[in-house]
């Protein structure tokens, strides 16, 4: 397929989780986070680019003061397999000292991203790292991590949509789906 053609909704073979189901689940997740998180403003750290749609929809459902920061990290570098190396693409990190942080990522796969980000934030002096992901793949993790808040458990297959890309495209699909091969 030529590059300009990538990104159409009809490249999708199967919708895995549709928009309405995602919205309903986010209502419940936001409620759970608000209930369980220590009182005071939450510092949300959104992992770009994949988590921007999930974070926007989730954080607007949390009715308390929020600080929002973004971190640009990369492990897939555009393909369909994790490269195994987590790169921090920002020159500086947000000030997290003493804060309870909620790290949001699109999907938990090998676990390397959440592990690398969690370790880094703890090193920067944050009080605690809580983690939330829209999706968690049912597969062995390379790192011993789990997310505190999980939207949906899915099978071990490559998905796009709702923030997740293939070669930079499909992030704007309003659902999570599997591409035609
Ligand atoms: P991990 O570090 O847990 O292996 O992978 C997390 C990152 O890999 C996610 O933030 C996401 O960017 C990418 N990733 C993992 N699985 C998928 C997938 O099925 N589809 C897409 N588009 N990205 C994925
Ligand atoms: Mg990512």
Q: Which domain holds residue 122?
A: 3-75+95-179
Q: If 0-12 CB within 10 Å is exposed, 13-18 middle and 19+ buried, where does residue 84 land?
A: exposed
Please pick, among 57, 105, 106, 109, the residue that the annotation labels catalytic: 109
Asked if residue 146 belongs to a domain, the reply is yes
- In CATH, what number is assigned to the domain containing residue 15? 3.40.50.2020
Question: Is 109 a residue of the active site?
Answer: yes
103 lines ligand 1 (CB under 6 A): no
Ligand that lies nearest to the alpha carbon of residue 86, given by its number in the listed order: 1
For the chain, what is the domain count? 1
Strand residues in 77-157 grouped as ranges (E)? 87-88, 100-108, 128-137, 149-154
Report the pLDDT value the prediction gives residue 75, as an integer from 0 to 100. 79
CA of 10 to the centre of ligand 2 (A): 24
Report the pLDDT value the prediction gives residue 5, as an integer from 0 to 100. 84
Identify the DSSP state of 68. Answer: E
CA of 68 to the centre of ligand 2 (A): 17
Report the pLDDT value the prediction gives residue 62, as an integer from 0 to 100. 97
113 lines ligand 1 (CB under 6 A): yes
75 lines ligand 1 (CB under 6 A): yes
Q: Tell me the mean pLDDT per 10 residues along the chain, length 181.
A: 79 96 98 95 96 98 96 76 81 93 97 95 96 96 93 97 96 97 88
Residues 166, 160 contacting (CB under 8 angstroms): yes
Report the pLDDT value the prediction gives residue 4, as an integer from 0 to 100. 76
Report the pLDDT value the prediction gives residue 76, as an integer from 0 to 100. 63
User: Which of 17, 53, 6, 22 lies closest to 155 in space, CA to CA?
Assistant: 17
Asked if residue 85 belongs to a domain, the reply is no
Report the pLDDT value the prediction gives residue 171, as an integer from 0 to 100. 97
CA of 107 to the centre of ligand 2 (A): 7
Asked if residue 24 belongs to a domain, the reply is yes
Asked if residue 54 belongs to a domain, the reply is yes
Evaluate the omega torsion of the peptide bond into residue 138 and state whether it is cis, within 30 degrees of 0: no
Residues 176, 163 contacting (CB under 8 angstroms): no
């Amino acid at each position: 397929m030529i590059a300009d053609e990538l990104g159409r909704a009809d490249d999708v073979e199967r919708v895995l989780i549709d928009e309405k189901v995602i919205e309903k689940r986010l209502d419940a997740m936001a409620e759970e986070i608000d209930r369980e998180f220590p009182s005071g403003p939450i510092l949300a750290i959104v992992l770009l680019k994949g988590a921007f749609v999930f974070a926007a929809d989730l954080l607007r459902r949390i009715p308390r003061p929020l600080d929002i920061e973004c971190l640009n990290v990369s492990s897939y570098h555009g393909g369909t397999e994790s490269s195994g190396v987590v790169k921090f693409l920002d020159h500086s990190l947000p000030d997290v000292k003493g804060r309870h942080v909620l790290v949001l990522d699109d999907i938990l796969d090998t676990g390397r991203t959440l592990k690398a980000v969690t370790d880094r934030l703890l090193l920067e002096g944050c009080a605690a790292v809580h983690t939330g992901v829209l999706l968690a793949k049912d597969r062995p993790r390379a790192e011993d991590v789990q997310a505190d808040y999980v939207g949906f458990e899915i099978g071990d297959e490559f998905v796009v949509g709702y923030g997740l890309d293939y070669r930079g495209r499909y992030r704007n699909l309003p659902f999570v789906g599997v591409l035609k091969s």
